[in-house]
Chain A
């Protein structure tokens, strides 16, 4: 077809229908994302409890957010949790996928079983595991809410149970994507299993590995439902000055509690925390983009 202004006649006829094809989604997107995002950004510089009473207060909220000990604690807890869960989940998922990518008997059943926990939502998952942990810990007269190390490792075990199957699926796809000719060549050259894994498979799967690492990174960082349902941030540790810290509270839950819990801060501080959280999460996203771009180029 003839080209005119870069568009074919067909594309031009499609263009007229923008109001129908883009209209509804743009409207919902403006209401459900864009407006709340921009307003949230603005409100983070305001002092308010009700939105109608918001008054600009400069960087006040950010100063308060950074000097809030519970927020800093939640950041460190989240960072530690994310590093540990990312490592453990990926090691387990990679190992499982290494074997399940081969045509072994029962492979389909194993895959089905390992993936199954992904279908259970975070809240329900939290209660399933809180019952199991407490059933176990009650034999020692304690509970998952009694010590923060129980909460920490409880969350790790729970998240592994949920996400190893998911990452495994991606890793299996990665193993299957390796050119069989390369593997055959390695075999002919007399490479043993370990050499094939380290020198052929892993270098060929760098993209898959980085996808899974970053996926686990953001999943861990943004964790909320499981955190709320398993520990809700407990146990609480009291400071000498009367303030208290929820020791297993992650960042998302800390922001939620600053908004809706019994917090001495105004909503502006909570919104400022949310912006800080957003900046951290997008920083991870940008690093990921840079990382995958460089490899493609």
Chain B
């Protein structure tokens, strides 16, 4: 039985190696001088083409905007937005399941509806609304993310809340817990696996999102990592490919490390999000 799969394992091993080659190519090229990235993309750095850490040093200040600042704003926006969405969407989903009156039903259908609407439909008017309400800074843009992302988060949380027996909450209420206390002390702990799954989906979305922050933020002042990298290519006729590769490497390494550490949770969370409904 085991022997039968030897060929399959060999094929998968080869395909796996091919699969990581693009990331390896970025890593190798980030140590090459600019002109060699294009002409000798697939060879290891030679004595002549080796750039040492020059690309990394240069990349940090490349494009008249410090990369560290972009990274900081990316972290800030991702953390704040994810926290807002997890807190308020789980609260709303619980309320919708427990009360389930007309307001809840209408709002829930609007949430589902919002999941189907492509971003291009709302982007132009969203930008003017965000400007008017001063939601155009990294500290306030999480409110926009809450509005855009609430639909899917509530949809997912609703499914999880439905599996919680109401009797447990009623017991807490009889013991004198107020509904707010019941939610935070009784419901939240039971929801924690789903908080992790939904949290992972939200982090992956906000961290990699390009268009929303690009349109809403004033990009001379605030950039995120995707905006930073797009800006390098977009505005420089002769870009430094070596430095760009170095920046791409710097921005994907933390993601890959986090992935390797908590891959079970990430893969599980993504699968839970995909098979929604």
Report A's interface with B, CB cutoff 8 A: 1, 7-8, 10-11, 13-18, 20-22, 24-26, 28-37, 39-40, 43, 51, 99-100, 102, 104-106, 109-124, 127-129, 131-132, 134-136, 138, 161, 166, 169-170, 173, 211, 215, 222, 224-225, 228-229, 252, 255-256, 259, 267, 270-271, 274-275, 277-278, 281-282, 285, 292
Contact = CB atoms under 8 A, between A and B. Distances in A.
Contacts, number: 273
A256 B212 CA distance: 12
A36 B84 CA distance: 20
B188 interface: no
Contacts of B16: 109-110, 113-114
Interface string B67-95: 00000000000000000100011011011
A102 B5 CA distance: 10
A99 B4 CA distance: 12
20 contacts: A1-B170, A14-B95, A22-B104, A29-B151, A32-B150, A33-B114, A36-B122, A39-B129, A104-B9, A106-B9, A115-B263, A116-B19, A116-B259, A123-B208, A128-B26, A135-B41, A138-B38, A169-B270, A224-B120, A225-B226
A8 B251 CA distance: 52
B270 A255 contact: no
B51 interface: no
Nearest to B169: A10
A267 B125 CA distance: 11
Contact of A18 (B103, B129, B270): B103
Dominant SS among interface residues on chain B: helix
Interface in B131-183: 133, 135, 143-148, 150-151, 154, 166, 169-170, 173, 178-180, 183
Given A21-B91, A121-B210, A170-B275, A275 B128 contact: no
Nearest to A221: B118
Contact of A21 (B23, B94, B267): B94
A70 B121 CA distance: 19
Chain A CB within 10 A, most for which of B147, B173, B211, B266: B147
B170 A116 contact: no
Contacts of B123: 36, 256, 259, 274
Interface residues of B, number: 97
Contacts of B39: 138
Most buried by B among A33, A116, A131: A33
Contact of A120 (B12, B89, B151, B252): B252
A99 B245 CA distance: 35
Contacts of B146: 24-25, 28-29, 32
A138 B23 CA distance: 20
Contacts of B37: 131, 135
B267 A104 contact: no
B29 interface: yes
Contact of A29 (B126, B147, B210): B147
Interface string B208-244: 1111000000000000011001100100000001001
A123 B230 contact: yes
Contacts of B26: 128, 131
